[in-house]
Amino acid sequence: MRGMFWAAMAASVAWSGAAYAKPIPERQKREILAEVDGAAPQISEIALKLWAKPELGYLEQEGSALLQKTLREAGFSVEPGVAGLPTAFVASFKTGEGPVIAILAEFDALPGMAQAAVPHREGAGPGPGHACGHNLFGAGSVGAAMAVKDWMQRNGVKGEIRLYGTPAEEGGGGKVYMVRAGLFKDVDVTLHWHASDANSAAQDVSAANQSGKFRFYGQAAHAAAAPDRGRSAVDAAEIHDVIVNFMREHIPDRTRIHNVLTSAGSAPNVVPDFAESYYYVRQLDPAVVTAVMERVKRAADGAALATETKVEFELVNGVYGLLPNDALGRVMDANLRLVGPPRWTAEEVEFAKTIAATLPPRQTPPPPETAIQAYGTTGDGLGSTDVGDVSYVTPTVGLRVATWAPGTPSHSWQAVAASGSSLGAKGAVVAAKTLALTAADLFRSPETIAAAKQELDRRRGPGFVYRSLAGERKPPLDYRRAGGGEQR
């Protein structure tokens, strides 16, 4: 065991010639792992409570309260309602002057994803569900923070561990407003994780994203008796969509534009006087995102002109892409390999196989749940996350843990089902262990933190100044009450 342990840690030194300080003693590593194992029932209980009461972005009152209560009882000081976000919070445990290490926790669900924790489709309807595993994210991160706190107390470690309760990742951009409010300005390193169908500490990138709602206003009239007196807002929204569809041929490669109609009339015999369309534009380059969104806005003006309607645009959110950090990623990868992947029982394997049979075939077979993918940094991420904004202001590192059947896409009923099962809970425990070990190593490794900060400066480029892609707008606390939409 000892030889395997140090071999795993040795892998973390081989990046760009940077030195990695000696990790914490093996005895302390074992203590942290045992601490998380002891907390596994609590982590599972929290994850399942969040799953059983899924709450949409900025409406996560019960979920946020549960996480805050757990952390207070564990000895953290908790500041609720930060950055003008009712369900956001920062929990802190500080022993003295030293590194400030943050762990992110998410807990919002997605609309229209109701599903039972069974390997077949059940519970379809308009209700929300944890189709991105944020119930696991929140529970695992809280478990990690508590284990780090106890380790700091036992070993006289100076510094501060913080748990950031970050609402509305799915389109509401909670972290954007927390970054904009300066809540990460003194953080040395930020850690996060995500539910997945695989195990990996490869440092992925993600796409920058701007989202907004186009509201068209027309003139109502009887659709049969007086259609000439009406001006259809739905016609305007549909023509806008047609214009954008033709635009797709003439935008930079790997740009994504997608939309939904959130309001499109209510009776066929009434010329609709209101329509709303919710658009996303995303691409790795934030400058491309903003430029393409301007073209989408001009297309809306053209649609309104053609239909003699009026249009208003509301910028809902904007996020940066995720910056990888190799200095931190190799530390995370070594600890993930030390912890090992989730170990499934025969019953859990059968559950996963049953779910996998409901999925479309993939050209590339998914990795088995027992595998840990090779380390690296990837440049092809097309999803979006508000963790990107955090990664532009503090060195940030993440991992993915298998909580779903191999091949499961996020934002699917299959992801909801597994997130409410023991598959998900076991993955959250593996994540808690890996995060806690990585945080402990970093508290004892100022060299790695310094290297991570240097890497962040290189990746951002000279003279970088953070300016939110959401502009100066107030947080969109009602974005789920009027229209809906999701990120990632």
DSSP secondary structure string, 176-238? HHHHHTTTTTT-SEEEEEEEESSBB--B----EEEEEEEEEE-B--BTTT-GGG-B-HHHHHH
Per-residue pLDDT tens over the stretch 345-361:
999 999 999 999 999 88
Rounded to whole angstroms, the Cα distance separating 164 from 183 reads 9
- Give the neighbor-by-neighbor strand order of the sheet with 274-283: 256-263, 274-283, 208-217, 310-319
Other CB atoms within 10 A of residue 357 CB: 10
49 token code pair? 């409570």
- Give the neighbor-by-neighbor strand order of the sheet with 100-105: 77-80, 89-94, 160-165, 100-105, 189-196, 396-402
Final residue belonging to a domain, choices 301, 319, 337: 319
Is residue 14 located within the same domain as residue 112?
A: yes
In a domain, 353, yes or no: yes
Rounded to whole angstroms, the Cα distance separating 241 from 258 reads 10
Is residue 137 located within the same domain as residue 9?
A: yes
Q: What is the 3-state secondary structure (H, E, C) of 208-225?
A: EEEEEEEEEECECCECCC
Beta strands at 274-283 and 208-217: parallel, antiparallel or unpaired: antiparallel
Smallest CA-to-CA distance from 351 within 286, 406, 411, 300 is with 406
In a domain, 236, yes or no: yes
Q: Evaluate if residue 367 carries a pLDDT over 80.
A: no
Q: Evaluate if residue 22 carries a pLDDT over 80.
A: no
Q: What is the pLDDT averaged over residues 421-437?
A: 98
411 token code pair? 């934002």
Smallest CA-to-CA distance from 419 within 171, 163, 143, 196 is with 196
Final residue belonging to a domain, choices 319, 348, 380: 319
Per-residue pLDDT tens over the stretch 108-137:
999 999 999 999 999 767 899 999 999 999
Q: What is the pLDDT averaged over residues 239-251?
A: 97
Least confident of 174-183, 357-366, 461-470: 357-366
Is residue 425 located within the same domain as residue 344?
A: yes
Is residue 74 located within the same domain as residue 23?
A: yes
Is residue 167 located within the same domain as residue 269?
A: no
In a domain, 481, yes or no: no
Q: Say which amino acid occupies 114.
A: A
C-alpha distances (whole Å) from 41 to each of 47, 72, 367, 428, 429 are 10, 18, 28, 11, 9
Q: Are 351 and 423 in contact (CB under 8 A)?
A: yes
pLDDT band at 485 (very low <50, low <70, confident <90, very high): very low
Q: Evaluate if residue 417 carries a pLDDT over 70.
A: yes
DSSP assignment of 132-158: T-HHHHHHHHHHHHHHHHHHHHHHT--
**Which residue shows structure tokens 């974005």?**
479
Beta strands at 310-319 and 208-217: parallel, antiparallel or unpaired: antiparallel
In a domain, 438, yes or no: yes
Is residue 159 located within the same domain as residue 291?
A: no
Per-residue pLDDT tens over the stretch 205-217:
899 999 999 999 9
CATH number, domain of 455, equals 3.40.630.10
Q: Are 313 and 297 in contact (CB under 8 A)?
A: yes
User: Cβ contacts of residue 397 below 8 Å, gap of 6+?
Assistant: 189, 190, 191, 192, 201, 203, 325, 328, 329, 331, 332, 438, 452
pLDDT band at 370 (very low <50, low <70, confident <90, very high): low
Is residue 213 located within the same domain as residue 178?
A: no
Q: Evaluate if residue 242 carries a pLDDT over 60.
A: yes
Rounded to whole angstroms, the Cα distance separating 340 from 391 reads 26
CATH number, domain of 264, equals 3.30.70.360
User: Cβ contacts of residue 334 below 8 Å, gap of 6+?
Assistant: 8, 9, 11, 12
Smallest CA-to-CA distance from 166 within 260, 265, 273, 83 is with 83
In a domain, 474, yes or no: no
Q: Evaluate if residue 297 carries a pLDDT over 90.
A: yes
Is residue 145 located within the same domain as residue 31?
A: yes
**Which residue shows structure tokens 């009450």?**
481
Q: Return the pLDDT at 375.
A: 85
Is residue 352 located within the same domain as residue 223?
A: no
Q: Evaluate if residue 482 carries a pLDDT over 60.
A: no
Is residue 170 located within the same domain as residue 235?
A: no
Is residue 398 located within the same domain as residue 354?
A: yes
Q: 384-403 b/e with 16+ CB inside 10 Å = b?
A: bbbbbbbbbbbbbbbbbbbb
In a domain, 485, yes or no: no
Q: Are 485 and 316 in contact (CB under 8 A)?
A: yes
Q: What is the 3-state secondary structure (H, E, C) of 73-97?
A: HCCCEEEECHHHCCCCEEEEEECCC
SS3 content of the chain, % helix, strand, coil (to 5): 40, 20, 40
- Angle ∠(42,48,51) on CA atoms, nearest 5: 145
Q: Evaluate if residue 183 carries a pLDDT over 80.
A: yes
Q: Are 297 and 210 in contact (CB under 8 A)?
A: no
Whole-prediction pTM value? 0.89
Rounded to whole angstroms, the Cα distance separating 149 from 443 reads 12
Domain count, the chain: 2
Helix (H/G/I), strand (E/B), else coil: 468: coil
Domain range enclosing 248 = 208-319
H or E stretch including 470? none
For the chain, what is the mean pLDDT? 91
| DSSP at 278 | E
Rounded to whole angstroms, the Cα distance separating 415 from 187 reads 32
In a domain, 488, yes or no: no
Per-residue pLDDT tens over the stretch 328-337:
999 999 999 9
User: Cβ contacts of residue 186 below 8 Å, gap of 6+?
Assistant: 100
Smallest CA-to-CA distance from 211 within 170, 239, 269 is with 170
